[in-house]
Amino acid sequence: MQHSAPMKCLDPFSGSLNN
């Protein structure tokens, strides 16, 4: 997830984890 920056945008779950 962290390596996929643009991916987190599409994935709300990834964004939450990154934030």
Note the helical H segments in the chain. Answer: 5-10, 12-18
DSSP state of 11: -
In tens, the pLDDT along 1-19 reads 455 555 655 666 665 555 4
Q: Determine the pLDDT at residue 8.
A: 58
Query: Are 1 and 17 contacting, i.e. CB atoms less than 8 angstroms apart?
Result: yes
Q: Determine the pLDDT at residue 2.
A: 56
Q: Determine the pLDDT at residue 19.
A: 47
